[in-house]
Amino acid sequence: MAEISKAPLLDHLKEFIAIDPTEEETILECHEAKFYPRKSLLLQKGIISRHEFYILKGCLRVYMIDMSGTEHTLSLNIENWWCGDLKSFINETPASYYIQALEDTQVLQISLANWNKLLEKVPKMEKRFRLSFQNALIAQNDRIIQNISMTAEERYLQYLEKYPHILQRVAQKHVASYLGMTPEFFSILRRKMVGR
């Protein structure tokens, strides 16, 4: 198999901070390329999450299963996004979530040991993580507002505008779950939309 290019990760990081060549090397050393075939699980509830994942190609879904056995999708992630169970990874506690590859997926994954090494050797990564978490936090606020203030139809319409490319790639039932509604109701909403 051809060598996997790790370049997209560096490009991604450079959106946050400047990186010099020595640092580039350290960063790349700390990330391991790995392939996960479609439908495989990268993480299961109860297992300690040993990696955070940067997606080079493919699609990952983070979800939990409630007491009645229903799955709830926390996030749908594609190329150039980070994905993981942060709480489990950082604290080395059993995961609350499952992570599943919805497509054949190529990632760069980092272990906690390497994460700490990286923070130590490249102190400016501290800033990168700060900015990254800061942005994620701002995005999460929007989602919470949506959940508490919008109807299912409004959430659907907003998703349609914001992430049409994801809607095309993943099964509807996963998007329905992400938006907090049943696949049946999602289907009804779609039908209604055709009319307009």
Partner DNA sequence: CGAAAATTTGACATGACTCAACTGGAGTGG
Partner DNA sequence: CCACTCCAGTTGAGTCATGTCAAATTTTCG
Q: Which residues bind a second copy (CB under 8 A)?
A: 64, 66, 70, 72-74, 86-87, 90, 96, 123, 126-127, 129-130, 133-134, 136-138, 140-141, 143-145, 147-150, 177-180
Contact 94, 88 (CB under 8 A): yes
Q: Give me the sign of the Cα torsion angle 137, 142, 148, 152.
A: negative
- The DSSP result for 123-167, as a single string, is THHHHHHHHHHHHHHHHHHHHHHHHHH--HHHHHHHHHHH-HHHH
Among 53, 187, 193, 195, binds DNA (CB under 7 A): 187
Q: Give me the sign of the Cα torsion angle 161, 163, 167, 169.
A: positive
In the DSSP assignment, the letter for residue 98 is E
Q: Which stretch, 25-33, 54-62, 117-125, 184-192, contacts DNA (CB under 7 A)?
A: 184-192
Q: Is 147 among the residues that bind DNA (CB under 7 A)?
A: no
Locate 65 and state its tokens.
């299963």
How far apart are CB 38 and DNA at their closest, in Å? 6
Locate 192 and state its tokens.
């209604």
Contact set for DNA, span 8-67 (CB under 7 A) = 38
Out of a second copy, DNA, none, what residue 173 binds, judged by CB under 5 to 8 A for its kind, is: DNA
Q: Which stretch, 27-35, 117-125, 158-166, 185-193, contacts DNA (CB under 7 A)?
A: 185-193
Phi-psi region of 118 (alpha: psi -120 to 50; beta: other; left: phi over 0): alpha
When the beta carbons of 87 and 192 are compared against a second copy, the nearer one is: 87
Residue 42 vs residues 17, 37, 56, 62: alpha-carbon distances, Å = 29, 10, 15, 10
How far apart are CB 12 and DNA at their closest, in Å? 28
When the beta carbons of 117 and 169 are compared against DNA, the nearer one is: 169
Among 6, 64, 153, 158, binds DNA (CB under 7 A): 153
Q: Is 152 among the residues that bind DNA (CB under 7 A)?
A: yes
Using CB under 7 A as the criterion, which residues of the chain lie in contact with DNA when the complex forms? 38, 70, 151-153, 171-173, 180-188, 190-191
